[in-house]
Chain A
Amino acid sequence: MTQMKERLVQLEVLRYNPDTDTEAHFQRYEVTCYEEGVVLDALNKIKADIDPTLNFRWSCHMAVCGSCGMMINGEPKLSCHTFLREYEGVIRVEPLTHFPIERDLVTAPDDFMEKLKRVKPYIIPKEDKPISEGEYKQTPAQLMKFRQYSMCINCMLCYAACPQYGLTPEFIGPAALTMAHRYNQDSRDGGRKERQEVVATHEGVWECTFVGACSEVCPAHVDPASALQQMKITSSIDWIVEHMIPGGKK
Chain B
Amino acid sequence: MAKSHKPVVWFPFAAGGTVIAFFIPVIVVLTFMAALGHIPPGLSYEKMHAFASNGLGKLIIFGVVALSLWSSAHRLRCTFYDFGVRADTLVAIVLYVAAIAGSLLSAVYLLQI
Q: Which A residues fall within an 8 A CB radius of B?
A: 163-164, 167, 196-198, 200-204, 206, 209-211, 232-233, 235-236, 239-240
Contacts and interface: CB of A to CB of B under 8 A. Distances in A.
A211 B7 CA distance: 18
A232 B2 CA distance: 16
29 contacts: A163-B82, A164-B81, A167-B81, A167-B86, A196-B3, A197-B1, A197-B3, A198-B1, A200-B3, A201-B2, A202-B1, A203-B1, A204-B4, A206-B4, A209-B78, A209-B81, A209-B82, A210-B78, A232-B10, A232-B14, A233-B14, A235-B4, A235-B7, A236-B7, A236-B10, A239-B3, A239-B7, A239-B8, A240-B7
Given A206-B10, A232-B14, A201 B4 contact: yes
A173 to B, nearest CB: 15
Contacts of A204: 1, 4
Contacts of A211: 82
A236 B3 contact: no
Contacts of B14: 232-233, 236
A202 B82 contact: no
B23 interface: no
Nearest to B1: A201
Nearest to B84: A167
